[in-house]
Amino acid sequence: MKTRPSISEILIKRRETLEELKEKVPLETLLDRLDSDKGNSKNNQSFKDFRGSINHDEDVAVICEFKPASPSKGHISDSKIQDALEVFKKADASAVSILTEENYFNGSLENIKIAQNIIELPILRKDFLMDEYQIYEAKLAGANAVLLMNDVYPDIKEGISLCSELELGYIVECKNREDIEHSLAADADVVGVNNRNFQNFSVDLKTTQKLSNSVPPEVVLVSESGVQGPEDAKKVAGYGADAILVGSAIMGTANTEDMHRAAKNIIKSVKGLKVGRT
C-alpha cells in the first residue's frame, strides 16, 4: 500500500519541479511571452472578475474544481477537462478551479489553456504557489485568479500586488486566525479558510465556523475542502461563507450524469442562504 505523503514532502517535490521548469524556461522568457500576448489581439484575454463572480447578494457561490487526484484520496477521476467543464457550466457554477500540481494531484497547466478557450467562467489556478514565476505562468496560461497560501507563498502582500498588476484575482488561503490577520494586513479582499488539516489531512467543517468572525464582512470568505453534499454546503453557508470550493464530492462520482447531479444539488442547496457576517 502506498503511503500518503506529508505536506513537507509535497512542498519539497513541488519546489524541485518548479526549479527544473525555471531552468528550461527562465522568467525572462515568460515575461517576453506575456509582452507578445499583449500585442496580439487573438491571444489577449478579456478581463474576468473572479471576486465579483463569487460574491453574490443572496446566494452562496460555488466554485467547482477539476481535481483528478489528491494525496488524501489518491485517484479520484478519469474525467476529461472538457467534460467536467461542461458539467460545471450546466450546473450553474460561479467559477472554476483547476488543479495544476502534477505529482500528487495529477494536474496540469495545460488544462487551464484548454479551459480558457471553452468556458466563460473565471478560472482559478489551484496549486502550491511559492514563486512569482507561477503567477506569471498562470496569467500566460489563461487563468483569471490564483491561490496564494500563507506559509507557502513567501510574501502575500507582494503576491497580491502582482496579481493586481496582471489583472488576476486571488484567494489567500488561511488555516488559523494569525493567517487571517496577516492576510488582512496585506490588504487581501478574498480569504479562503481550508477545513483540511495538512498535518494529518483530516477535515473539520467547523474550522470555517471558528474563523469566519475574524473575516470582516467586506472581505469575501471562501470555505475550502470537506463539503461532501448539500447538507455540508448548507452548514458552511450558515457559518458565514460567501463561497464554497468543492472538488472531490463532484469529481468522485461515477459518470458525467452523476457529476452534474452532485454539482447541481450542492449549488441549488445554498441559493438564498448567504447570511453575511458582522
pLDDT at residue 73, rounded to an integer? 86
Domain membership flag for residue 137: yes
- pTM greater than the 0.85 cutoff: yes
Note down pLDDT in tens along the chain; length 278 residues.
467 899 999 999 999 999 999 999 999 999 999 998 876 655 556 789 999 999 999 999 999 999 999 988 889 999 999 999 999 999 999 999 999 999 999 999 999 999 999 999 999 999 999 999 999 999 999 999 999 999 999 999 999 999 999 999 999 999 999 999 999 999 999 999 999 998 888 999 999 999 999 999 999 999 999 999 999 999 999 999 999 999 999 999 989 999 999 999 999 999 999 998 98
Dihedral sign, CA of 194, 149, 77, 145? positive
59 grid coordinates: 446566494
Grid coordinates 458539467 are at which residue?
87
Domain membership flag for residue 1: no
Domain membership flag for residue 160: yes
Distances (CA, A) of 276 to 40, 211, 237: 42, 14, 9
Own/partner pairs for 49-52, CB < 8 Å, 24+ apart? 49/122, 49/169, 50/95, 50/122, 50/124, 50/144, 50/145, 50/168, 50/169, 50/170, 50/190, 51/169, 51/189, 51/190, 51/220
Domain membership flag for residue 274: no
Domain membership flag for residue 172: yes
82 grid coordinates: 472538457
Contact 126/99 with Cβ under 8 angstroms? yes
pLDDT at residue 278, rounded to an integer? 81
CATH number of the domain residue 211 falls in: 3.20.20.70
> Collapsing DSSP states into helix, strand and coil, what is residue 237?
helix
Number of structural domains found in the chain: 1
Domain membership flag for residue 275: no
Domain membership flag for residue 2: no
pLDDT at residue 38, rounded to an integer? 77
Domain membership flag for residue 111: yes
Structural domain containing residue 247: 7-41+49-269
* DSSP character at residue 243: E
Q: How many Å separate Cα 168 from the centre of its chain?
A: 13
